[in-house]
Structure 1
Amino acid sequence: MHYAYLDTTDLQVSRLGFGGMSLGADVAADRRLLDAARAGGITLFDTADLYEHGRNEELLGAAFRHCRTQVVLATKVGNQRRPDGQGWDWNPSGAYIRQAAEASLRRLQTDYLDLYQLHGGTIDDPLDEVVEAFERLREQGKIRHYGISSIRPNVIRRYVPETGLSSIMLQLSLLDQRPLEAVLPQLDAHGVGVLARGALAQGLLAGKPAREYLGHPAGTVQAVAAAVAAVAKRLQRPPAEVAGRFVLDTPGVTAAILGIRNEAQLAEALQLARSAPLPPDARQELLQAAPANTYQEHR
C-alpha cells in the first residue's frame, strides 16, 4: 500500500479511502466489509453526519473503537436535519459546527476527529466564523485537521491560501476534468491535500450503460468508456482500475475516495491500491478520448 500526506502535517492516509457507505439490512455484513477494508490496508474512512441520519457514523464508531489509532476518521458538517426529519437546511454557523462536532464525536465513539470537513459551502458563508469554529475545535484537541468538501472554485479560492485547512474533497474523473482546469494547480502549489471522489463516474467508466453525464451526451460517455476498456484490455487490467489510476496518477491528488458497498467492489479497490501507475502513453490516449469540460458556474 502506498501512502501520502494531507498538507505537510502528520496525517497519514492510504491512497484509497472508504466513503459514502450505505447501510444495508445486515449490519454484521457491513462490519465485516469495514474490517476487511482495514485489513487490506485502507486507513481513511470518510462519512458525514447527514448520511443515514447519523447511523453511518455510528457504524464506523462501533467498528473501529478497538483500533482507533490505526484508522483516519473523516466526517462532515453543515447540513442540519430539520426537526421533523424531512430534509435538511444549510447551516455553516460557528455555533452549529461546534454543536455538530460533539454529536459526531459521540456517534463515532472517539474523543477526536482526524479530519472535519465543511460539507459543501457557498460564496455567502461566514468564512471567518467557519474558520474560527474549526480552529477552536482544533485547539481543544477535538479535531486534528479541517477541510471542505466542495466542487465550487470560487468557494475553494476563499479558503486557499487564507486559512489553515488541510484538504479539499472534490469530484474528479475522466468524465469530470473540471478540477484540472480550475483548482488542482492552486491546491498543489499551496500544499493542500486533495481527496478525489467519483473516479468511476457513477460506474459509467466501469461497465454501466452509457447515459448523459455532466453535459456529456450519452454517445460521448460511451466513447470514453470504450477508450477505458481498450486501454484496460491492452494493459490486462480491469476498466475500473484504469479509471481509478487516471485519478490517482493526477498530480496533486492525495487519495481517491471510493464508495465500497460489497466484497466485489472492495476487491477491486484493493487491486487498484496495489496497481502500478498508467504508462504515459495510456494516460494520453485516455485524455484524447475524453473531452475536457470546464466549470460553467462557480468561477
Structure 2
Amino acid sequence: MLYFACFAVNNHTMKYRQLGKTDLRISEVSFGCMSLGKNQAENTALLRKAFENGINLFDTADLYQYGQNEIIVGQALHDVRRDALIATKVGNQWRQDGSGWDWNPRKSYILQAVEASLTRLQTDYIDLYQLHGGTIDDPIDETLEAFDLLKQQGKIRHYGISSIRPNIIREYASRSHIVSVMMQYSLLDRRPEETCFSLLEDYQIGVFARGSLAKGLLAGKPAESFLQYSPQEVHAAAEAIHACANAHRSPGQTALRFVLRHPAITTAVAGIRTMRQLDDCLGVATAPPLTDEEITMLRHALPLNMYDAHR
C-alpha cells in the first residue's frame, strides 16, 4: 500500500492511499452518502466541510432515495467537481410503481442508467462507476462490455464492483479491469480476510471497506446479534474497542483504525449523517495508529467468522 504526504486543512491532516493501478489518490476515510437526510442545506454543509478537510471521495448510488442522493451530492459538490472524486453505483432498477427494485446488470440498462446518473450528479464523467451487487448467473461479459464502452467514451474514468461474494469477486478480478471492490469489513465482519483480501492484493485491486462501525455496534450502540455473533460476543468486541480507545482516539476512530491497518484497504467508507459523526471521522487522520498489542487484543476478542455462502 502506498502512502502519500499529508494534507492539512482546518487543523486536520488527511492521509491518502493510491487506488490499485490507477493514478487516483483516495483519502483514508471517505464519505458514504447513503445516510444523508433530506435537508439540502445541512447536507451541503456536511459534504463541503468533509471536502475542505481533506476527504476527497464521495460514494453514492442511483438506488439511494430514488436518485435523490445523487442530486444532493451533485448540487453540493458542483463547483469543486474537478477536485472531488465521485463514486456511484448501478444495477438495481426501480420499478415504475416504486414498489421496489429488480436486479438488472444488462448492457442496455447500464448504458441508459449512466446518463441519468450523470445528469443528477451535474457532471460529464463519473470517477468510479460500480456494479451494485452481482450473482454468478449474471451475463458478466455483457456487463463488462458496458463498463468498458463507457470508459472508452470518457463517461467514466474507472469501474469496480460492490460485493461481498467471493465467487463474484474472483470472476471480476480475473476477467475485468475493475480497480476496486467495496465490501463490508469490520472487527465484527472479518470474512474478507480468509481469501478475498489476498486475492485483491495480488491483482492490485483496492478495497473500499464499508460498515466499519458495524451499524454503530462498535461505537456505543447497545449490543445485539450481528451476523453469526450473539449479543454477548458483540458486547465483547465493543468492550475490546473501548479498551483500546483513549484520550487521543475515540471508539469510532479505533474501529476505523482497525480496518485501515490492513494493507488491502484503500479507504474506509464511513456513513455520515451529522457534524459530530463527520468530526469523529476527520479525527481518524490524527488518531494514533493501533499498537501491535492492541491489534492482537482486538483480533482475539471473538472467533474469526467466514463466508458460509457464495464461496
Give me the TM-score of the superposition, normalised by structure 1.
0.98
CA RMSD, Structure 1 to Structure 2 (Å)? 1.0
Give the letter for the 1:292 counterpart.
L
Q: Does 1:40 align with 2:53?
A: yes
Counterparts of 1:203-282 in structure 2 under 5 Å? 203-233=216-246, 236-282=248-294
3-state SS in 2 of match to 1:242: helix
Counterparts of 1:1-299 in structure 2 under 5 Å? 1-233=14-246, 236-299=248-311
3-state SS in 2 of match to 1:9: coil
Quote the Cα distance in structure 2 between the aligned partners of 1:273 and 1:121.
Answer: 33
Quote the Cα distance in structure 1 between the aligned partners of 2:232 and 2:277.
Answer: 26
Contact in 1 for aligned 2:43/2:76 (Cα 8 Å): no
Give the letter for the 2:286 counterpart.
R
Give the letter for the 2:283 counterpart.
Q
Give the letter for the 1:58 counterpart.
I
Deviation at residue 64 of structure 1 after TM alignment = 1.2
Deviation at residue 13 of structure 1 after TM alignment = 1.4
Deviation at residue 25 of structure 1 after TM alignment = 4.0
Deviation at residue 7 of structure 1 after TM alignment = 1.4
Deviation string, structure 1 residues 160-194 (Cα, Å, up to 9, x no partner)? 12211110000000000000012001001110011
Deviation at residue 275 of structure 1 after TM alignment = 2.2
Deviation at residue 203 of structure 1 after TM alignment = 0.4
Quote the Cα distance in structure 2 between the aligned partners of 1:26 and 1:75.
Answer: 20
Contact in 2 for aligned 1:210/1:221 (Cα 8 Å): yes
Contact in 2 for aligned 1:23/1:56 (Cα 8 Å): yes
3-state SS in 2 of match to 1:147: strand
Contact in 2 for aligned 1:153/1:183 (Cα 8 Å): yes
3-state SS in 1 of match to 2:155: coil
Quote the Cα distance in structure 2 between the aligned partners of 1:184 and 1:126.
Answer: 25
3-state SS in 2 of match to 1:69: coil
Deviation at residue 26 of structure 1 after TM alignment = 2.3
Aligned equivalent of 2:11: none
Give me the TM-score of the superposition, normalised by structure 2.
0.94
Deviation at residue 274 of structure 1 after TM alignment = 2.5
Contact in 2 for aligned 1:17/1:255 (Cα 8 Å): yes
Give the letter for the 1:259 counterpart.
G
